[in-house]
Amino acid sequence: MSTPATELQQDGYITADGRKIGSVMMDLRSITLRFGGVVAIQDISFDIRQGEIRAIIGPNGAGKSSMLNVISGFYQPQQGEVWFLGKKRPPLKPYQVARQGIARTFQNIALFQGMTVLDNVMTGRLNHMKTGWLAQSIWLGRANKEERINRRKVEEIIDFLEIQSIRKTPVGRLPYGLKKRVELARALAAEPDLLLLDEPMAGMNVEEKEDMSRFILDANDEYGTTIALIEHDMGVVMDLSDRVVVMDYGRKIGDGTPDEVRNNEEVIAAYLGVPND
């Protein structure tokens, strides 16, 4: 079973818990990414569909984060095409990708440590602000109204992620688990169509993981956000995601529903190892 059979209807499918998954949102076709002589990603193709939670898993160094960086536009693959919403995506700067409706969180938290939670989440609204810096700095006319609309949206997300009590706390003073949640808040504040999460549960205790899982599911349910995530915790991945891509040494070794992937021999071998004889 080298290429796991995931038969997909052209116009989506119904998940185990009864959600409707739409058509292909992002299509990655034969992506190859090299750093000098090192091949990080080797001829990988898969798609992400509207409304689904898609996981990318694999051992350390498998190329998961590189894959996410290709999706987010941070890396340009040497070969292959990225199709987004039915159009082939030309090489873009990361901020241009963000404008297309893709937001992300980072493996090692990238927040403004000295700013409050509220201000950090506000930065996520940048793409929704249209007034110039001059109008904003003297708080004039449209800038004022715009700030109020955006603040309202940010407050809704703060409420959604239950971080009201730390609204005015500088991020640097927060414990790790909460910082992760603030990062998620910032990404959600951008109201993305596609949300990329790079190891959202790394370093968390069981309770924090459960909270985070709930928020990810709720965000998918409440805002209809499509989510692609990288995660090491197999239990979490299998519970959360609708479909899973498995990578090993830059190659795709499995793709399908959690159950299909779990029974894939190559996947088992990559994770547990195989006897030599």
Taking the least distance from each CB to another protein, the nearer of 155 and 260 is 155
Q: Which is nearer to another protein, 29 or 167 (CB)?
A: 167
- Residue 42, amino acid: Q
- In the chain, what is the straight-line distance between the N-terminal and C-terminal CA atoms, in Å? 21
What SS3 class is residue 12?
coil
C-alpha 82/C-alpha 97 separation (Å) is: 12
**Position among 30, 78, 164, 263 found at the interface with another protein (CB under 8 A):** 164
Q: How far is the CB of 223 from another protein (least distance, A)?
A: 12
Q: What's the min distance (Å) between Cβ of 177 and another protein?
A: 14
Q: Among residues 13 and 249, whose Cβ is nearest to another protein?
A: 13
Residue range at the interface with another protein (CB under 8 A); choices 31-39, 52-60, 162-170, 237-245:
162-170
Burial (CB count <10 Å: 0-12, 13-18, 19+), residue 60: exposed
- Site size toward another protein (CB under 8 A) is 17
Q: Does 175 bind another protein (CB under 8 A)?
A: no
223 scored as a contact of another protein (CB under 8 A) = no
What CA–CA distance (Å, rounded) separates 189 from 204? 23
- Tokens 């309770």 -> residue: 207
The verdict on 78 binding another protein (CB under 8 A) reads no
Strands 194-198 and 79-84: what pairing? unpaired
Told to check if 239 binds another protein by CB under 8 A, we report no
Q: What is the helix (H) or strand (E) element at residue 227, kind and residue range?
A: strand 226-230
Binding status of residue 130 toward another protein by CB under 8 A: no
What is the footprint of another protein within residues 79-118 (CB under 8 A)?
118
Strands 226-230, 53-57: pairing kind: parallel
Determine how β-strand 194-198 pairs with β-strand 102-105.
parallel
Residue with tokens 């689904």: 52
Binding another protein (rule: CB under 8 A), the pick from 3, 35, 126, 159 is: 159
Q: Does 167 bind another protein (CB under 8 A)?
A: yes
Nearer to another protein, 11 or 159 (CB): 159
